[in-house]
Homo-oligomer: A and B are copies of this chain.
Amino acid sequence: MHRLCDFGEQDWLKRVRRWFASADRRLVLGIGDDAAAIDAGRGPVIATTDALIEGVHFRRDWIGARDLGRKTLAVNVSDIAAMGARPLAALLALSVPPSASASDLRDFFLGLRDGARRWDCPLAGGDLTRAPQWSIAITVLGVPSVRRSGRPVIVKRSTARPGQFLYVTGKPGESGAGLVALHRGIASPALVARHNRPEPRVREGELLARICPDLAMLDVSDGIWCDSGRVAEASNCAIEIESASLPVSRALAAFCNSLSIDPLDPVLFGGEDYELLFATAVAPAKIQQAFRRHGLKTAITPIGRVKSGRGRYLLDPSGRRINIADRTFQHFTR
């Protein structure tokens, strides 16, 4: 789901969930998670759809057509990864202005194909039409992970429980910093690439679903702060994030230093990371060991704890809850 805070997206989501509340046995998991789980009687299929609209989610002068094709698939594959599932196939509803150049269209499809190959997610069909601006809706279907018992696992965001560790994969914040670089016209190709070429954590999500019996997970699309709030709300828990534990990559630290930005701002509020944010009681060493055993080099950082209560909190290095309203997030809060 894309951010639509100013538009009241979350309020609408609640209404839609109410209107469409149904005891339909085919909906194993309905509206409100990263993806749905749908069962036609032979085991669940995971399904998600996200749209990217020119001028709302991207600017054509900030992202090339090839990266755009790849990214639109990536953001949907990331939702599948967040369910601990494996991509099965994609459908594309592509709308472009009549003025779109043939080379841009070709590059878009080639980028989509790059991603389809990379994430083993073939394009199965779609729709091509006109629109005043590029409007891209992709649906990705997936297959859930299977535990040793043979049972499929549907990983939700609503199953976090007090006592669990909170983790994040990879290098959150770099994508948000890349967006700042684009906004300000700063040449920072590595960070811009992190924004334009996200890497959904497919193998990581699948492995976590298999090794963590108590897993709650989502992908970080709107920043750790916003998305940890979603886990807390869906799970009826509180979440404490230790500011001293948040990972800050060297590239991010250097970029933020040059602009006098607190690097925790993009880490917490940057958005479009497409890292996995997850809660489990399984200890850090055990997860990191499993990642190494499977040849996964992605960092796994414990950044906090699930607590009883409500809401999410940032802790200062001495463990005190920081009043988040005291901080200024002029670069990233939207």
Contact = CB atoms under 8 A, between A and B. Distances in A.
B113 A36 contact: no
B93 A27 contact: no
A53 to B, nearest CB: 5
A48 B13 CA distance: 24
A184 interface: no
A325 interface: no
Contact of A92 (B24, B32, B49, B141): B49
A116 B24 CA distance: 12
Interface stretch (A124-132, A260-268, A278-286, A307-315): A124-132
Interface residues of A, number: 67
A122 B21 CA distance: 9
A24 to B, nearest CB: 5
Residue of A9, A12, A129, A141 ringed by the most chain B CB atoms within 10 A: A129
A93 B38 contact: no
Given A45-B45, A50-B93, A122-B24, A128 B38 contact: no
A43 interface: yes
Contacts of A105: 12
A143 B32 CA distance: 24
Interface in A1-59: 1-2, 4, 6-7, 9, 12-13, 15-16, 19-20, 22, 24, 26-27, 30-33, 35-36, 38, 40-43, 45, 47-51, 53, 55-57
Given A53-B130, A128-B1, A93 B137 contact: yes
A47 to B, nearest CB: 6
Interface of A: 1-2, 4, 6-7, 9, 12-13, 15-16, 19-20, 22, 24, 26-27, 30-33, 35-36, 38, 40-43, 45, 47-51, 53, 55-57, 88-89, 91-93, 95, 98, 105-106, 109-110, 113, 116, 122-133, 135, 137, 139, 141, 143
